[in-house]
Amino acid sequence: MTTAAIVPAAGRGERMGPGTPKALRLLGGAPVLVHAVRALARARSVELVVVAAPPDDVASVERLLDDFELTGAEVEVVGGGDHRQRSVSRALAALPDEVDIVLVHDAARPLVPPELVDAVATAVRTGADACIPVIPVADTIKEVDGQVVARTLDRSRLRAVQTPQGFRRELLAKAHAWADAATAEELASVTDDAGLVERLGVPVTCVPGSEEAFKVTRPFDLVLAEAILARRRADGFR
């Protein structure tokens, strides 16, 4: 089976504040996107990484990735869409016919360990239709109605979801075909590719995630990522 990874990177990441898009913010001297693509390319299971870039920035993203001379899997850049789902759908359509397994990874998760990438791909390769990495929720989670607590959720049954998320290609294509035809209301509560698959009634398998695969969303996350990257470099990892 051939495995490809898709990185939707056409958005701006507004929660990071004004200025450079989140995926292009510098982390340890390289853009966040470069770190994410490097981790996927280094994973033993991945043979191709496809980045969905802003349609008018494809050439510049190609030059950016070339500048860092990434090793491992082949890397390609295609034009994305006006939102995440459409970017994934366009990258999915651009994959070679021989690809059987597709991973979808957030560009804003730059420090995902390659071992986690391989674990997700292996789960699909060995029989799962879809697989997501998850970590236990540390905080108490409450459902609120306005300013009033409606109920406290059972934390033991809750998990935070990370990426990459892995799928059989034909299943992911079917899920995105449904999304392409869905209304805005139908898509309002779907925030990831696993959510699209769940809408088809297909079970999603979970594997243990990694604390280092967190999403860089706010300025503080970038500070934390810098600290982890510095520790890795001190330990001899690049």
Question: What pLDDT, in 10s, does the model give residues 44-90?
Answer: 999 999 999 999 999 999 999 999 989 899 999 999 998 899 999 99
Which band of pLDDT confidence, cut at 50, 70 and 90, is reported for residue 18? low
Which band of pLDDT confidence, cut at 50, 70 and 90, is reported for residue 233? confident
Q: What is the mean pLDDT of residues 157-174?
A: 97
Q: How far apart are CA 26 and CA 36, in angstroms?
A: 12
Q: How far apart are CA 22 and CA 9, in angstroms?
A: 9
All domains in the chain, ordered by first residue: 2-234 (3.90.550.10)
Which band of pLDDT confidence, cut at 50, 70 and 90, is reported for residue 135? very high
Which band of pLDDT confidence, cut at 50, 70 and 90, is reported for residue 221? very high
Which band of pLDDT confidence, cut at 50, 70 and 90, is reported for residue 16? very low
13: left (phi over 0), alpha (psi -120 to 50) or beta: left
Using CA of residue 51, residue 55, residue 57, residue 62, what is the dihedral sign?
A: positive
